[in-house]
Amino acid sequence: MRRVKVFFDGGCRPDPGTMEIAVVVAGMTIILPNIGQGSSTDAEWLALTHALGVALALGLSDFVLIGDAADIVAKANGTVKCRGSALRHLERFGALQVAGARARVRHIRRSQNLAGIALANRHPR
């Protein structure tokens, strides 16, 4: 059985501004286009926690959360210390992990992030 890949991405226009997030898992794309006001960093954290929530709701036990925000991935993995407002996001992520399987979080290039591609396709240039 292969580990399921759960892609996540978040952003806002302008920054700060209206946030949106996307999660792609098992051929399913979930886009939440207006989740409130915040920064692109807030949107990335919300995308990560939503991706974990989706994985748990689907009953996945062997999965990896994949995103292109290197700073968020490093903080979620504990390799970079969290400070300031990021602490509340990390605490929420940690609380969700307690509720389910310990999540692995991996960084990839933006061009490989299916969730990022889904968001980009909503805003063609």
Q: What is the mean predicted confidence (pLDDT) over 114-122?
A: 94
The Cα 43–Cα 39 span in angstroms is 6
Query: What CATH number is attached to the domain comprising 41?
Result: 3.30.420.10
Tell me if the pTM is above 0.85. yes
Note if the bond before 14 is cis, omega within 30 degrees: yes
Do residues 11 and 49 lie in contact, with contact meaning Cβ atoms separated by under 8 Å? no
**Per-residue pLDDT at 125 exceeds 70:** no
CB neighbour burial string for 44-82, b if at least 16 within 10 angstroms, e if fewer? bbbbbbbbbbbbbeeebeebebbbbbeebbebbeeeeeb
Number of domains in the chain: 1
Residue 56's domain comprises: 4-122
* Segment 3-57, tens digit of pLDDT: 899 999 999 989 999 999 999 999 999 999 999 999 999 999 999 999 999 999 9
pLDDT of residue 1: 60
